[in-house]
């Protein structure tokens, strides 16, 4: 371990970072539960599933802007300034969310604006939290990064558990109170960290130049970020495509020209993997309560709380697991478990079977995020805070821009196809044509220039078609529609399947090099040969 004074880091520094991460998950889960409440999204805001996905996405993709943006300047502005900015953003979100809900009945458009843009501010704050906590912990525990990053990131599921239980137990109590609980941990970590002395980042103390840091990221990494930011900006602010192309493309070209580097090939591969990884973990977590609500008789949020307890416990004891398996083998095993868990969740019923499948899924997703951070920190130490944080940022950007809307679109598609497969549907006049739902009952939608296309039911159209039909037929069709979201979980297994292939290739690459070995920076900034 080291810090600016070469002393043992204070426990307040680590635990303050831990509570800061807990705060981010407070904001995540309370807002996700809010957006899974049909009395809010359907009755007050009049949103379909894909549009809800965009509301969920707005609290995710700006995370990338702040985590990458602050990583570029954090050595200049300091960790403490970043911490203050993060806490302020989180408190502002709470105020906007509470205000939005208070005016929703009388002014739903204003409520939409406050809840949508408040999600953006929350994301900026949450991204800034990771911008400072990841390099701080990687620096003070520089000899055992993967272990301590796993322990640090136990704070994420820990916050999901605490805030999830509080939100569920409050029951019908006003949503304003539920959204406001984020202020408590925000104030706690602010008071803990405002008095702490932060360490000098590993890259800086080793004398690695700013340009050499950027070279690790390179044009390749910048191009991925630019593409994803363009998609989101163009969707959020239509009719400005040319401006956004020049802004986003210019950013990538400028960084490439400055560094004269495409970036580390391994870093580029890890960046690409973060898209399916983030969708597997964050995307599914964000939708799971809404998806399972029609399947269970209890509050579906307990499933997310349960999987988060497993994640929290295992991350605290990640050290022996990482040391025995190695990070890459651990990620391979995690991918297999995540595939099995999602497929199992898509078809189970009954409390015992649901929680059994959820256990598989939890075991799969537990080590994805922090272990990837550990690999990036160990393999690209010259990249400092930028490479360490950029993978998190790009993952959040990808799931916010594409992952959440895509999962929402999958559910809309399933809601249509599952109704078509019900035997009773053939007896309903005007519902089916050649075994498919009639186009007159559906609305064609698309997002991001047709990148995501889907069909959704026209408002109240299915209810109109079912008027006058037998109770058995109506029940069968509505049950199929309500449970269609669960079926979509099997389709989501494609994401960990992609990761599994990538991790096997990475494992073979390192084996050809003699095995996985972390790189270490010397005082001159040179690293050991790549393992």
2: in domain: no
The yes-or-no verdict on residue 383 having pLDDT over 60 is yes
pLDDT for residue 5 is more than 50: no
Percentage of residues in the chain having pLDDT higher than 90 = 32
**In this structure, which long-range contacts are made by residues 44-48, counting pairs with CB atoms below 8 Å and at least 24 apart in sequence?**
44/104, 44/105, 44/108, 44/111, 45/104, 45/108, 45/111, 45/112, 45/115, 46/108, 48/412, 48/445, 48/456
Within a domain: 305: yes
Residue 73 within a domain = yes
Nearest-angstrom CA–CA distance, 291 and 281: 15
Q: What are 191-202's pLDDT values in tens digits?
A: 999 998 888 777
Q: What are phi and psi of 516, to 5 degrees?
A: -75, 125
Tell me which of 38 and 503 has the higher pLDDT. 503
**Is 356 part of any domain?**
yes
Which band of pLDDT confidence, cut at 50, 70 and 90, is reported for residue 529?
A: very low
Residue 285 has pLDDT above 90, yes or no: no
Report the distance separating Cα 6 and Cα 199, nearest Å: 9
Q: What is the number of structural domains in the chain?
A: 1
Domain that holds residue 384: 11-412+489-512
pLDDT in tens, 467-487: 888 888 889 888 888 788 888
Q: How far apart are CA 21 and CA 258, in angstroms?
A: 33
The model carries a pTM of: 0.80
Q: Which of 522, 528, 530 is nearest to 207 (CA)?
A: 522
What is the per-residue pLDDT for 523?
55
Pairing of strands 432-433, 436-437: antiparallel
| CA dist., res. 441 & res. 431, Å (int) | 7
In tens, the pLDDT along 63-88 reads 888 888 888 888 788 899 999 999 99
428: left (phi over 0), alpha (psi -120 to 50) or beta: beta
Helices marked H in 171-300 — which ranges? 175-180, 183-193, 202-205, 210-236, 241-259, 265-278, 284-292
How does residue 310 score in pLDDT terms, banded at 50, 70 and 90?
very high
- Environment class of 242 (CB within 10 Å of its CB; exposed 0-12, middle 13-18, buried 19+): exposed
Distance CA 190, CA 86 (A): 9
DSSP track, 454-480: EEEEPTTHHHHHHTT--HHHHHHHHHH
Asked if the model's pLDDT at residue 289 lies above 80, the reply is no
- Whether residue 16 is contained in a domain is answered as yes
SS3 445: strand
Provide the pLDDT for residue 25: 93
For residue 289, is it within any domain?
yes
Amino acid 450: pLDDT: 63
Of 131-140, 210-219, 251-260, 279-288, which gets the smallest average pLDDT?
Answer: 279-288
- The string of DSSP codes covering 384-426 is HHHHHHHHHHHHHHHIIIIIHHHHHHHHHHHHHHHHHTSGGGG
When comparing pLDDT for 418 and 523, which is higher?
Answer: 418
- 180: confidence class by pLDDT, cuts 50, 70, 90: very high
Are 401 and 67 contacting, i.e. CB atoms less than 8 angstroms apart? no
pLDDT tens digits for 214-228?
Answer: 898 889 989 998 888
Q: What is the pLDDT of residues 486-526, one digit of tens each?
A: 888 888 899 999 999 999 999 999 999 999 988 877 654 54
328-341 pLDDT, tens digit each: 999 999 999 999 99
Question: Which residues, 6+ apart, have CB-to-CB distance to 36 below 8 Å?
Answer: 287, 289, 290, 293, 300, 301
**How far is CA 31 from each of CA 57, 153, 241, 421, 442, rounded to the nearest angstrom?**
11, 20, 30, 34, 29
Let me know how long the chain is: 531
Inside any domain, residue 264: yes
Tell me whether residue 229 is in a domain.
Answer: yes
Cβ-contact 53, 404 below 8 angstroms: yes
Average pLDDT over residues 264-288: 88
> Smallest Cα–Cα separation from 287: which of 342, 356, 360, 349?
342
Q: What is the pLDDT of residue 530?
A: 40
> What was the pLDDT predicted at 72?
82
CATH for 51: 1.20.1250.20
Mean pLDDT of the chain: 86
Using CA atoms, how far residue 415 sits from 103, 327, 341, 408, in Å, is 31, 39, 22, 11
Rounded distance between C-alpha atoms, residue 367 and residue 236, angstroms: 33
């Amino acid at each position: 371990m080291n810090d600016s004074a070469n002393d043992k880091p204070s426990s307040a520094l680590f635990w303050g970072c831990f509570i800061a991460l807990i705060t981010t998950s407070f904001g995540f889960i309370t807002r996700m539960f809010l957006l899974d409440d049909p009395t809010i999204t359907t009755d007050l805001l009049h949103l379909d599933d894909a549009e809800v996905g965009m509301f969920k996405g707005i609290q995710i993709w700006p995370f990338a802007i702040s985590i990458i943006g602050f990583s570029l300047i954090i050595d200049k502005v300091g960790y403490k300034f970043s911490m203050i900015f993060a806490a302020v953003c989180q408190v502002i979100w709470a105020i906007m969310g509470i205000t939005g809900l208070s005016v929703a009945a009388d002014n739903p458009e204003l409520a939409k604006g406050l809840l949508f843009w408040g999600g953006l501010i929350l994301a900026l704050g949450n991204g800034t939290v990771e911008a400072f906590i990841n390099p701080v912990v990687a620096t003070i525990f520089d000899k055992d990064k993967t272990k301590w990053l796993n322990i640090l990131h136990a704070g994420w599921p820990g916050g999901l558990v605490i805030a999830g239980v509080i939100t569920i137990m409050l029951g019908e109590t006003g949503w304003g109170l539920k959204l406001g609980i984020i202020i408590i941990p925000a104030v706690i970590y602010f008071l803990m960290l405002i008095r702490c002395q932060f360490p000098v980042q590993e890259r800086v103390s080793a004398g690695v130049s700013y340009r050499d840091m950027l070279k690790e990221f390179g044009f390749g990494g910048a191009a991925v970020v630019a593409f994803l930011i363009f998609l989101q900006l163009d969707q959020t602010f239509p009719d400005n495509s040319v401006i956004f192309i020049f802004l986003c493309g210019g950013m990538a070209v400028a960084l490439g020209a400055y560094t004269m580097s495409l970036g580390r090939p391994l870093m580029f591969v890890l960046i690409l993997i973060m898209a399916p990884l983030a969708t597997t973990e964050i995307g599914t977590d964000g939708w799971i309560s809404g998806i399972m609500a029609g399947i269970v008789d209890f509050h579906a949020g307990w499933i997310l709380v349960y999987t988060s307890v497993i994640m929290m416990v295992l991350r605290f004891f990640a050290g022996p697991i990482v040391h025995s398996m190695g990070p890459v083998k651990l990620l391979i095993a995690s991918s297999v478990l995540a595939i099995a868990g999602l497929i199992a969740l898509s078809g189970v019923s009954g409390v015992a079977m649901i929680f059994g499948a959820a256990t598989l899924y939890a075991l799969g997703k537990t080590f994805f995020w922090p272990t990837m951070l550990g690999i990036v920190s160990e393999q690209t130490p010259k990249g400092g805070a930028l490479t360490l944080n950029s993978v998190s940022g790009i993952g959040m950007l990808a799931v916010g821009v594409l992952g959440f809307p895509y999962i929402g679109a999958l559910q809309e598609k399933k809601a249509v196809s599952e109704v078509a497969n019900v035997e009773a549907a053939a007896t309903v006049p005007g519902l089916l044509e050649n075994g498919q739902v009639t186009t007159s009952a559906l609305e064609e939608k698309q997002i991001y220039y047709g990148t995501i296309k889907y069909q959704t039911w026209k408002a109240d159209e299915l209810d109109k078609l079912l008027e006058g039909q037998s109770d058995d037929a109506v029940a069968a069709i509505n049950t199929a529609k309500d449970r269609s979201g669960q079926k979509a979980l099997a389709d989501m297994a494609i994401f960990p399947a992609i990761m599994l292939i990538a991790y096997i290739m990475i494992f073979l690459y390192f084996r050809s090099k003699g095995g996985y070995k972390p790189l270490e920076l010397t005082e001159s900034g040179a690293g050991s040969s790549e393992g």
